Amino acid sequence: MATVYTGIMDAHGIESFYAKDSVSDGQLFRTQMRASLNRQRHALVYEVELDDEQAKVINEMLQENKYFEAAELLHDPDFLEDYGCEPEMMASWQLIPNHKLDPYY
């Protein structure tokens, strides 16, 4: 069974990752606001549809503080076929993760 996951991703990888249907509209709004306030790091709100095994892999990577590697995995066509983000942020999706894009890094 596939579930839609959402969260914030930026130049340093995945910052947050949760099932979209498990959070309130208020949480989704705060996520969108946080990403928009951190555009200097190419922060964006993403949506991906993952099966249970894929979600388990991402969660394990995040528990091991492998934020960058987890973001790279979401870009791997062998792992994930479809993704989404706000159209005005799509250019950032193509650039991240990349530590060099953070002007304060």
Residue 54: what residue type? Q
Residue 87 confidence (pLDDT): 83
Residue 77 confidence (pLDDT): 83
Distance in angstroms (rounded) separating the CA atoms of residues 36 and 18: 18
The count of C-alpha atoms lying within 13 angstroms of the C-alpha of 97, restricted to the half-sphere facing its C-beta, is: 19
pTM of the complete model: 0.90
pLDDT in tens, 50-74: 999 999 999 999 999 999 999 999 9
Q: How confident is the model at residue 31 (pLDDT cuts 50, 70, 90)?
A: very high
Q: Output the DSSP codes for 76-104.
A: -TTT-S-EEE-GGGHHHHHH-S-GGG-TT
Please tell me what DSSP assigns to residue 35.
H
pLDDT at 41 over 80: yes
pLDDT in tens, 11-27: 999 999 999 999 899 99
pLDDT in tens, 72-99: 999 898 898 778 788 888 889 999 999 9
